[in-house]
Amino acid sequence: MQSTPLVSVENLSHKYGERLALDNLSFTAGTGEIFGLLGPNGGGKTTTFRILSTLIRPTSGKVSMFGFDLLSQPREIQRRIGVVFQSPSLDKKLTAYENLFHQGCLYGLSGAKLKERINYLLERVKLADRANEYVEAFSGGMRRRVELAKGLLHGPKLLLLDEPSTGLDPGARRDMWQYLRELASTEGVTSLLTTHYMEEAAQCSRIAILNAGKLVAMGPPDELRATIGGDVITIQSSQPAELQKNIAAQFGLNAELVEGTLRVETERGHEWVAKLGGAFPGAIDAMTISKPTLDDVFIKKTGHKFWVEREMVNDAKDKKKKGGR
């Protein structure tokens, strides 16, 4: 047996025209993992998904899956992966059954085996009774379930999912995750998914955090959280900069100022809450203490909050444009 990982990505970069969307990304994923690519919009995760799904060719870098090289043997990879797109990929004028039948033909399935497989998956995603209705008449959640069935139809050992829980209600989201875990444990199916939900990333066996096309952190979610010492205290204040100075002067404690909010990473957070509250009663509007989340990991690694990334990037672009003209 060879020890090549199921998915291996080395120094992957991609440019859309002049814009560098993915910058030297490397990671591997093994059999049975649920590997998450986490990042804000524009972080590069969808670009990675597009490259791995063979939709676009990377500008540079090396990718292999199942031991096959992406550039020289894309067909072999395409046969073995299941792809679930974020945007709809169903033909709305066809029924759920017809959509899956067509998909089967594209993947080399036919006859009784294909029918059996379609019925099994429709049962599995709880749409067996709606098999012969036009997809047009389906709700968003139902369509997503057909998409999932479509990706799983040919029994792939590797599933690529782009923002799989978009458009799913919480119940359906839970079901999907349970199913992914079940596939991983019973059939050894690896899932590689993109998400911008921290809570969702926390359920992955390993995650890679992407920001502005670069890998900023990688590992199991628990380990990543553990890189942050103890607790996280966040402080709302009307004069955060001044408070930051005072905290440093009085306690020698390093408080980071992130977009108007002060963050303190420290052991024994509850004691510090009491101390800080006592020392600056007027300057603090609100103070919370929490165990570190993936959000905190992101802030620590990038120096800014997760959700504002898009606007910041856009602002930077605008400034550049203005400067250039």
- Which residues of this chain interact with other proteins, rule CB under 8 A? 16, 50, 53-56, 75, 78-80, 83, 85, 87-94, 98, 101-103, 105-110, 113, 116-117, 120, 123-126, 150, 154-155, 175-176, 178-179, 182, 186-187
Q: Pick the closer one to other proteins by CB: 154 or 300.
A: 154
Minimum distance, C-beta of residue 169 to other proteins, in the bound complex (Å):
14
In whole angstroms, what separates CA 255 from the centre of its chain?
Answer: 29
- Separation CA 157–CA 20 (nearest Å): 31
Minimum distance, C-beta of residue 83 to other proteins, in the bound complex (Å):
5
Residue given tokens 């997760």 in the structure block:
306
What's the Rg (C-alpha) of the chain? 23
Q: Pick the closer one to other proteins by CB: 94 or 216.
A: 94
Angle between helices 96-106 and 140-152 in degrees, nearest 10: 30
Full strand arrangement of the beta sheet holding 68-69: 19-29, 7-16, 60-65, 68-69
Contact 238, 265 (CB under 8 A): no
Minimum distance, C-beta of residue 98 to other proteins, in the bound complex (Å):
7
Minimum distance, C-beta of residue 11 to other proteins, in the bound complex (Å):
22
CA atoms within 13 A on the CB side of 236: 4
Q: Pick the closer one to other proteins by CB: 116 or 199.
A: 116
In whole angstroms, what separates CA 304 from the centre of its chain?
Answer: 18
Minimum distance, C-beta of residue 116 to other proteins, in the bound complex (Å):
8
Query: What backbone torsions phi and psi does residue 142 show, to the nearest 5 degrees?
Result: -65, -40
Minimum distance, C-beta of residue 106 to other proteins, in the bound complex (Å):
4
Q: Element (H or E) spanning 286, and its range?
A: strand 284-290
Minimum distance, C-beta of residue 71 to other proteins, in the bound complex (Å):
14
Contact 40, 310 (CB under 8 A): yes
Q: Coil, strand or helix: which one is 24? A: strand
Minimum distance, C-beta of residue 45 to other proteins, in the bound complex (Å):
14
Burial-class residue 253 by CB neighbours within 10 Å (0-12, 13-18, 19+): middle
Q: Pick the closer one to other proteins by CB: 80 or 263.
A: 80
Contact 131, 95 (CB under 8 A): yes
What type of residue sits at position 198?
M
Contact 236, 46 (CB under 8 A): no
Minimum distance, C-beta of residue 59 to other proteins, in the bound complex (Å):
13
Q: Pick the closer one to other proteins by CB: 88 or 219.
A: 88
Q: Pick the closer one to other proteins by CB: 161 or 218.
A: 161
> Nearest CA to 215 among 37, 30, 25, 74?
25
- Separation CA 182–CA 162 (nearest Å): 19
Stated length of the chain: 325
Q: Pick the closer one to other proteins by CB: 124 or 304.
A: 124
Q: Pick the closer one to other proteins by CB: 73 or 234.
A: 73
Q: Pick the closer one to other proteins by CB: 155 or 220.
A: 155
